[in-house]
Amino acid sequence: MTDGPTYGFDTLQIHAGARPDPATGARQTPIYQSTAYVFRDAEHAAALFNLQEVGYIYSRLTNPTVAVLQERIATLEGGVGAVCCSSGHAAQIMALFPLMQPGCNVVASSRLYGGTVTQFSQTIKRFGWSAKFVDTDDLDAVKAAVDENTRAVFCESVANPGGYITDIEALAAIADGAGVPLIVDNTSATPYLCNPISLGATLVVHSTTKYLTGNGTVTGGCIVDSGKFDWSASDKFPSMSQPEPAYHGLKFHETFGPLAFTFHGIAVGLRDLGMTMNPQAAHYTLMGIETLSLRMERHVQNAKEIAGWLETHDSVDYVTYAGLESSPYHDRVERICPKGAGGLFTVALKGGYEACVKFVENLEIFSHVANLGDARSLVIHSASTTHRQLTPEQQEAAGAGPNVVRISIGIENAADLIADLDQALKKAHR
């Protein structure tokens, strides 16, 4: 659906990338559960391996079901292409892989999912990469952190766990001035609530496990390429601009233009890192995306009502939901997330750590799980789980202090959720 009329989001989330199966007429995208694909002849095989022709070789690289999902997410995000992979964490490594070399760094927001902070502060050191964590509300600090070895700026559009909204336009201006891409994790907002590419982002990453799938069944990740970055403007990105020995000196940016990053992600990233999404996971995510706008509207509606109720509760110290007028991020909602501030936020309880533990243990409708973005309402005490590996200072910077509980509001009846929260709060403060 790339030619002809311009369709609305609700239409694209159902139809983008998909057509009736030519062999059977099946209207739903089939699960192509195949490892390999038959070549027409030896010349066809050679052309595929030389990147002279687009097609299917081996499902570590390309798969027809996954290809539909890639086109759908890229369309919804306003990108030129996308690469799906096995998880959100895989997507982050895949996004950095073509950009970084030993000695290079990424300037990252201090308000990130705890697992991302650990990945960036610890694991990427094994590649010889490093991360500089800064408060992205302090634009001068961001500018100061960028140096000659910086290869990307990284943030979350709606930060996990606190629901803080990032000024993407301001960060994009800094990244552009430094000649490096801005990578935005849009997991918590989804393309329905936020469009980072229109705000200046170069790359968008997702944990498709969360809101895009929306049913807590499969893991997955995705990197969306805006196609707008000039990879040949400097010598900072040799993987994009210089000859690639494995493809007889082919230069990705020169050869593929706006699709250079996408082709590199498949032809080198998936080929060598092998972080492949399986076709059944792609199928589940495609089905989830068909109702994305409907679900996100309910997530936002419920979250706003419930956060407002929590804010007035005697047992609550504060609520971080950006949709509340009391939030310091409220003025960014209309500009960054015009359809709402999402369904994720934290609540700080009077009584600290012990009250949080009792609260979580006494909830009945809310599920105590290490996930978010489900149709079901979910809860977790971040300091003792998802952010446990962080130092106390890192936990506080990420908005995951010991007195804080992360809440992912689902699409259930809001009154039922409020009643459940109320009874658990009473038990937590006995």
* DSSP characters over 290-352: TTHHHHHHHHHHHHHHHHHHHHT-TTEEEE--TTSTTSTTHHHHHHH-TT---SEEEEEETTH
Residue 276: inside a domain, yes or no?
Answer: yes
In the chain, the amino acid numbered 71 is: E
- Please give the backbone phi and psi of residue 80, each rounded to the nearest 5 degrees, phi first: -90, -20
The angle at the Cα of 113, spanning 315 to 352, to the nearest 5 degrees, equals 25
What is the SS3 assignment for 29? coil
**What is the mean pLDDT of the segment spanning 156-164?**
94
Number of alpha carbons in the 13 Å side-chain half-sphere of residue 206: 36
- Express each pLDDT in 326-361 by its tens digit: 999 999 999 999 999 999 999 999 999 899 999 999
Query: Dihedral of CA 50/52/55/61: which sign?
Result: positive
Q: Say yes or no: 368 and 424 in one domain.
A: yes
Give the alpha-carbon dihedral of 107, 110, 112, 113, to 10 degrees.
Answer: 120
Cα 156 from Cα 55, distance rounded (Å): 33
Considering 288, 312, 347, which residue would you say is the last residue of a domain? Answer: 288
Record the tokens describing residue 59, joined without a space: 């499902």
Contacts of 372 (CB under 8 A, 6+ apart): 160, 188, 210, 344, 378, 406, 408
313, 254: one domain: no
Residues 312 and 198 in one domain: no
Whether residues 364 and 305 fall in one domain: yes
Residues 159 and 185 in one domain: yes
Domain range enclosing 178: 12-288
- Listed residues 288, 307, 322: the one ending a domain: 288
Inter-helix orientation angle 352-362/414-428, to 10°: 130
* pLDDT greater than 60 at residue 1: no
CA–CA dist 406, 161 (Å, integer): 6
Same domain as 153, residue 268:
yes
Structural domain includes residue 3? no
Provide the pairing of β-strand 130-134 with 344-349.
unpaired
Both tokens of 376, joined, read 């079901």
**Residue 341 placed within a domain:** yes
Cβ-based neighbours of 354, under 8 Å, separated by 6 or more: none
Q: How confident is the model at residue 384 (pLDDT cuts 50, 70, 90)?
A: confident
**94-148: per-residue pLDDT in tens?**
999 999 999 999 999 999 998 899 999 999 999 999 999 999 999 999 999 999 9
Select from 315, 336, 333 the least CA-distant residue to 324: 333
Confidence at 418, pLDDT banded by 50, 70, 90: very high
Give me Rg for the CA atoms of the chain. Answer: 22
What is the distance between the alpha carbons of residues 250 and 357, in angstroms, rounded to a whole number? 56
d(CA 355, CA 311): 17
What share of the chain has pLDDT > 90, as a percent? 90
Q: Which tens digits make up the pLDDT trace of 389-401? A: 778 888 777 777 8
Residues 21 and 48 occupy one common structural domain: yes
CB atoms closer than 10 angstroms to residue 301? 16
SS3 68: helix
Q: For residue 367, is it within any domain?
A: yes
Q: By the 8 A CB rule, do 223 and 280 touch?
A: no
Residue ending a domain, choose from 238, 269, 288: 288
Q: Say if residues 182 and 172 touch (Cβ distance below 8 Å).
A: yes
In a domain, 245, yes or no: yes
The verdict on residue 4 lying in a domain is: no
325, 223: one domain: no
Q: pLDDT value at position 430?
A: 73
Q: Distance between CA atoms of 95 and 269, rounded to whole angstroms?
A: 9
Per the CB < 8 A criterion, the answer to whether 210 and 161 are in contact is no
Q: What is the pLDDT of residue 319?
A: 97
User: Do 235 and 326 share a structural domain?
Assistant: no
| pTM of the predicted model over 0.75 | yes
5 in any annotated domain:
no
- The answer on 415 and 341 residing in a single domain is yes
- Is 51 part of any domain? yes
* CATH (domain of 405): 3.90.1150.10
DSSP string, 176-206: HHHT--EEEE-TTTHHHH--GGGGT-SEEEE
| 124: CATH | 3.40.640.10
303 and 242 in one domain?
Answer: no
Residue of 153, 189, 228 whose CA lies nearest to 329: 189
Total domains present in the chain: 2
- 111 and 178: one domain? yes
What is the pLDDT confidence band of residue 3, given thresholds at 50, 70 and 90? Answer: low
pLDDT tens profile 259-302: 999 999 999 999 999 999 999 999 999 999 999 999 999 999 99
Ordered DSSP codes for 229-267: --TTSSSS-HHHHS-BGGGTTB-HHHHHGGGHHHHHIII
Neighbouring residues of 153: CB distance < 8 A, sequence distance ≥ 6: 106, 107, 108, 142, 146, 171, 174, 175, 178, 180, 181, 182, 183
